[in-house]
């Protein structure tokens, strides 16, 4: 078991497998996309599996693949097989925009993936094309259907609330939880990367959801390290989660660490500090010792509320 210096159990590794994406969400990616990194600058599939294996041997049992868009990574199915086959993994998941999920859901399930989180900010096709700069909503719906068919459940849909864009759809998303066994989680827009320049009216607090939908009642979560507080509609099948990174910190129960596609270990999403695991691995260093030392230095909490934002975009870290 890995404990940090504040006594938190670190058991959850989020791996960003690529910086690239097939969408260009306005708050996340620059309009022109990003330049592709050289092959040798990103971890190979084998290296990612090797590092994940070391983490699992140290006590990690939850692994999530993210990006960029993880499903555009070359070799994603081999990667999923490698991680899905590690002894000791209990929860293997992916965060995806679902555009390619119809194509890959079956292979992912066969590789050992347990479930998916799908990012979807609007249920309106025109608005979807607008916020993603060209995405097709029907692809996402096909992806959701494929995930259901393959039993990659419970499906969680993550909605980033952008004031003036999708706050008029809050009730529609909540209705989904009444009709389907799907959890919908609202995430406050975070002032990082592309979103730093957004005016304050784009940032709306999740609290407004509870004011608008008083029928939501709080449900007890089994997982104290989850950043979401969960609610349910009367007779709701799925739950409604509120994730408030700014207005309500969840650092004290943080159990996660992140690794970027370039093999940098990030101890906190909101810190610029990184530890270069890729170079250490290629130099034949003792990765286990480096990880244990890094965990010792995981920061106690973020300081977003004081205006301490990082400059990196979400697509580089994986959210």
The residue among 27 and 231 lying less far from ligand SAM, judged by its C-beta, is 27
Of 269, 249, 273, 271, give the one whose Cα is nearest residue 319: 269
Using the rule CB under 6 A, give the single segment among 22-30, 48-56, 219-227, 232-240 that binds ligand SF4: 22-30
First CA to last CA across the chain, in angstroms? 24
Report the partner that residue 190 touches, choosing among ligand SAM, ligand SF4, none (CB closer than 5 to 8 A by kind): ligand SAM
Using the rule CB under 6 A, give the single segment among 66-74, 77-85, 284-292, 304-312 that binds ligand SF4: 66-74
Q: How far apart are CA 70 and CA 96, in angstroms?
A: 7
Which one of residues 2, 10, 13, 29 is an interface residue with ligand SF4 (CB under 6 A)? 29
List of E strands, the chain? 12-16, 62-66, 91-96, 115-119, 155-161, 182-188, 217-218, 228-232, 240-243, 256-259, 264-266, 275-276
Q: How far apart are CA 164 and CA 203, in angstroms?
A: 9
For the record, the structure tokens of 190 come out as 């975070």
Residue 93 engages ligand SAM in binding (rule: CB under 6 A): no
Q: How far apart are CA 119 and CA 157, in angstroms?
A: 6
Which one of residues 111, 195, 228, 294 is an interface residue with ligand SAM (CB under 6 A)? 195
Residue 23 engages ligand SF4 in binding (rule: CB under 6 A): yes
Report the partner that residue 29 touches, choosing among ligand SF4, ligand SAM, none (CB closer than 5 to 8 A by kind): ligand SF4
Using the rule CB under 6 A, give the single segment among 73-81, 183-191, 205-213, 226-234 that binds ligand SAM: 183-191
Work out the widest C-alpha separation in the chain, in whole angstroms: 57
Residue 192 engages ligand SAM in binding (rule: CB under 6 A): yes
Report the partner that residue 195 touches, choosing among ligand SAM, ligand SF4, none (CB closer than 5 to 8 A by kind): ligand SAM
Residue 25 engages ligand SF4 in binding (rule: CB under 6 A): yes
Residue 165 engages ligand SF4 in binding (rule: CB under 6 A): no
Which one of residues 28, 56, 108, 209 is an interface residue with ligand SAM (CB under 6 A)? 28
Of 253, 238, 220, 285, give the one whose Cα is nearest residue 51: 285
Of 286, 278, 249, give the one whose Cα is nearest residue 262: 278
Residue 177 engages ligand SAM in binding (rule: CB under 6 A): no
Residue 243 engages ligand SAM in binding (rule: CB under 6 A): no
Q: Is residue 154 reached through a cis peptide bond, with omega within 30 degrees of 0 on the bond before it?
A: yes
Helices (H), 180-276: 207-212
Residue 162 engages ligand SAM in binding (rule: CB under 6 A): no
Q: How far apart are CA 73 and CA 53, in angstroms?
A: 20
The minimum distance between CB 14 and ligand SF4, in angstroms, equals 13
Q: Any residues with CB less than 8 A from the CB of 168 and at least 6 apart, and which? A: none
DSSP 57: H
Residue 159, judged by CB atoms within 10 A of its CB (0-12, 13-18, 19+), counts as: buried
Number of residues in contact with ligand SF4, rule: CB under 6 A?
Answer: 13
The minimum distance between CB 147 and ligand SAM, in angstroms, equals 13
Residue 68 engages ligand SF4 in binding (rule: CB under 6 A): yes
Residues near ligand SF4 (CB under 6 A) are 21, 23-25, 28-29, 67-69, 97, 119, 314-315
Residues near ligand SAM (CB under 6 A) are 21, 27-28, 66-67, 69, 95-97, 119, 158, 160, 187, 189-190, 192, 195, 314-315, 318-319
């Amino acid at each position: 078991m890995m404990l940090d210096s504040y006594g938190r159990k670190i058991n959850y590794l989020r791996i960003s497998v690529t910086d690239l994406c097939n969408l260009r969400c306005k708050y996340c990616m620059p309009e022109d996309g990003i330049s592709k990194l050289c092959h040798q600058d990103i971890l190979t599939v084998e290296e990612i599996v090797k590092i994940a294996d070391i983490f699992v041997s140290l006590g990690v049992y939850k692994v999530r693949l993210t990006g960029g868009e993880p499903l555009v990574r070359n070799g994603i199915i081999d990667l999923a097989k490698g991680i899905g086959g590690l002894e000791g993994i209990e929860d293997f998941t992916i965060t995806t925009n679902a555009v390619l999920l119809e194509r890959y859901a079956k292979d992912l399930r066969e590789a050992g993936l347990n479930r998916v989180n799908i990012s979807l900010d609007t249920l309106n096709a025109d608005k979807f094309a607008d916020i993603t700069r060209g995405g097709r909503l029907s692809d996402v719906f096909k992806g959701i259907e494929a995930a259901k068919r393959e039993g990659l459940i419970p499906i969680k849909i993550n909605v980033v609330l952008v004031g003036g864009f999708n706050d008029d759809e809050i009730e529609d998303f909540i209705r989904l939880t009444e009709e389907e066994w799907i959890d919908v989680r609202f995430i406050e827009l975070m002032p990082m990367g592309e979103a730093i320049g957004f005016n304050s009216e784009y940032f709306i607090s999740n609290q407004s959801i509870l004011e608008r939908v008083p029928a939501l009642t709080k449900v007890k979560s089994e997982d104290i390290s989850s950043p979401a507080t969960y609610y349910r509609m009367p007779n709701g099948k799925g739950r409604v989660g509120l994730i408030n990174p700014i207005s309500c910190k969840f650092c004290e129960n943080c159990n996660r660490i992140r690794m970027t596609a370039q093999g940098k270990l990030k101890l906190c999403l909101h810190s610029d500090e990184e530890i270069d695991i890729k170079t250490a691995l290629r130099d034949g260093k003792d990765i286990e010792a480096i990880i244990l030392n890094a965990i010792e230095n995981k920061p106690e909490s973020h300081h977003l509320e004081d205006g301490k934002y990082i400059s990196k975009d979400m697509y580089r870290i994986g959210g």
